[in-house]
Every structure is written in C-alpha cells, then in structure tokens.
Chain A
C-alpha cells in the first residue's frame, strides 16, 4: 500500500509543533497502525532523522497508552478499537492519513504524539479506591453479588484510561473516564462505605482540569471499550445525592 502520512511533530512541551508529511510506499495491509509507525521510524533513523515519538505498551488493546487522533477520530476509523488494534486494511491504497496527539488543556503534548495524561492519575488518587487494610486475599465468594450487578461493574471496569473520551469530546470533558472509575466501585458492596465521598472528590478533581459534559455522546462513540454514558448519569445521580444528603465532603 502507498500511503501519505501527515504527522504532528513537536520537539518539547514548550516548542511550537507542526505537521510533517511522510510518504510510505510499501505498507502491508496486515500491519497494525503502530507497526506502520515503527516502519516509518526505522526509515527515519536510517536517514538520520529523529523518529516519531508515540506511546505504546501492550499492543493488544488493554493498556490504554497508544491513543492518537487519526483522521479526526480518536483511535481511528474502526469502532471499539484502540490504535494498536487498528490494521492498515481498514485504509485504502493511496490514502492520506492525518495523525494528531490528543488535544486538551489537561493533556499537554510532551513530544510529537505523546501527551501527559497525569490528570487521570490525579482523579483516581482523589478517590478511585477502596480503603481497606490489605492482608491475604479474601475468599472470592464471601460476598454474594448478583450477576447483573457484577456484569455492570465489569462494564465500567473495562475502562483502560486511554483518554479517547477527552480527546473526542468537543468540550474536552473527562466525564466518561471518571464515571467509569466511580461506577465500578459504586456498584459493588466493597465500594459502599466511601461511595458519596468518593464521587464528590473525584468529580471535583476532574473539574479542576477538564471541561464539562454537554451530552454530545461523542465519548461513548470514541471509547475503544464502548463504555456507556449510562455511567455518567449514575455518577451525576450519586454526586447530586451526596451533595443534598450531606454525605459527601
């Protein structure tokens, strides 16, 4: 496959970035998108150019590190797929592909396509945990949990924290990420004691970095795990309950 890539290059956090165009003459349709970048980087290294910085780790769609904007869509054109699982057969020979980093005030570009997603960690640190004394793991079936609830909690827990929700949202809001992290604990018995305090703290932390939700539903469409905006409604309800019952704070 012949492809033209237009890729955002930016040397450091503070430098001005720009798009640079690269041509690839022999891409295989069986390559993943990251493998395409690997091949391009190999060529760049041989010609003495600086390779393109991008993040990747597991390359099997579960670590959440590889997200980039591909032709204006977070993780590219295929629904429910992270960038690493996107294959070049989804493109046509001769296509031009524009690659941009996530753009959000909260996610500054570190280099080229790599952004700093530390605010996600801050949100989780503010309450995305259950405070228990750790010891040996308890017996798994000690606390009975109805199957539909366990399933729902697992749906929320699918979030890999890639940031596609923020990247696609016209408001740069992190509602879907935060709602998933709130809900997978709020649904389970272990999460109940801190339920309302948790949602208050996590929402407040989130709002210190990100825009707010206007129910465009772009996040759900962009999410490689297909996490539902139902969790945003759940988070809103818990936040409102916590505010009015005084059980937050």
Chain B
C-alpha cells in the first residue's frame, strides 16, 4: 500500500485533513471578527472596509477577485471539514453496536462531547448568516453596500440577535475543542507537563473570537451602536 492513497482512507489521515481545513476556517473567523470591529468606528469606516475587501488586489485581479478566491478556499475548507467529520462520525457510531447500560464520563470536556452538534448549529447558522447579511434575502431592510445599516437594523430585531448570540456560543465551544484537537491530530504534543499550552491556546482564541463576535449584537441591542 502506498502511503498517500492510504492516507485519505485512514481515520488518522482524515483527522489531519479536518485539522488542516479547521486551521483555514479558524483563520477566517479570527480575521472576520477583527474586521467587524470596524463597526465601532462608525458607518464610513466599516463601509469603506467592506468596499476595500472587493477592491483589494485590483488591478492585478478583477474587481472582487480576491474576495471570490477567498470564498472558494473557504468553501473547499468547509467541504473537507464536513465530509471528513461525517465519515468519521458514521464510522465511530458503528464501533460499539451493543451499548453500555452505564458509562460515566471521566475526563471529556463539555466542548468535546458536543463538538459535532455545535458544528451542525454553526453550519445552519452560516446559511442563515449568508442569507441575512451577505445576500440580504432574509433581511427586511437590506441596502446593498451599506454594511453598517444592514448590521445595525438587522440586530435591532431581538430574535435575530438571539440567533447570532446562540450560534457564537456554539462556535466558541466548537473552537475550543477543535483548536486543541488540531495539535493532537497533527502530532504536536506538549512535552512539558501541565499547564498544557495547547489547551491555553485553544481557550484564549476561542474566548477572543466568541467575545468579539458576541459584542456586535449586544452593542446594537443595548443601543451602544445605532
């Protein structure tokens, strides 16, 4: 058996692909959150940033060229992440046909035990989010190009903000287990004893991204941003 053909078929290989695609998606959510902080600088800055995302790379690339390349990469990463996760999950569900009457949880974190379902929530949320703030299909008052208006008027509806808040909490838990698992799946161990820097890394970045993202709907709901 040659190494590479075997690699994709093996669960260890699939986990490495999950980690690699996860790194891409992690980079995206981090940059996305940082970019959105421009909300606090007012409509001009935020809308200019959104426009810059379309213009960046021109004239070397056509208008929106970089944006579409980024979208293609992200779509591929999501595809790899979801397909490998589904394949591994199905495989794992078959590994114990006769269940225990009682099996206690010893060490597994809440985040690790819910990581699949947090992933499903995030998947559904991304579809809603694209329809809401990217394409405007599910936005009652969508003005193309006026990102600031769309965000603020969108989040002023309490249940829309609610969807965002719940989804970002799910993302936080998913990121915590995912980021920590990434080190394990790619074979980066912790040679020193506790504190485990891999867990610290996962906790810190999951918190930064979640708190940043939660601040946007909360800022609109509390009237800090209007």
Contacts and interface: CB of A to CB of B under 8 A. Distances in A.
Contact of B108 (A170, A204, A212, A235): A170
Interface in A152-203: 168, 170-173, 200, 203
A106 B92 CA distance: 12
Contacts of A240: 7, 12-13, 16, 186-187
Interface in B84-137: 88, 91-92, 94-108, 112-113, 115
A214 B14 CA distance: 11
Contacts of B203: none
A27 interface: no
B187 A203 contact: no
- Nearest first, the 6 closest Cβ-Cβ pairs linking A and B are A237-B187, A211-B95, A212-B11, A172-B95, A221-B106, A72-B102
Nearest to B85: A214
Interface residues of B, number: 46
B15 interface: yes
B113 to A, nearest CB: 7
Contact of B188 (A203, A211, A215, A233): A233
A138 interface: no
Interface of B: 1-4, 6-7, 10-16, 88, 91-92, 94-108, 112-113, 115, 177, 180-181, 183-191
A218 B105 contact: yes
B107 A216 contact: yes
A112 interface: no
Contacts of B6: 200, 204, 243, 248-249
A7 B167 CA distance: 44
A214 B115 contact: yes
Contact of A19 (B13, B94, B101): B101
B112 A216 contact: yes
B95 A239 contact: no
A236 B187 contact: yes
A73 to B, nearest CB: 5
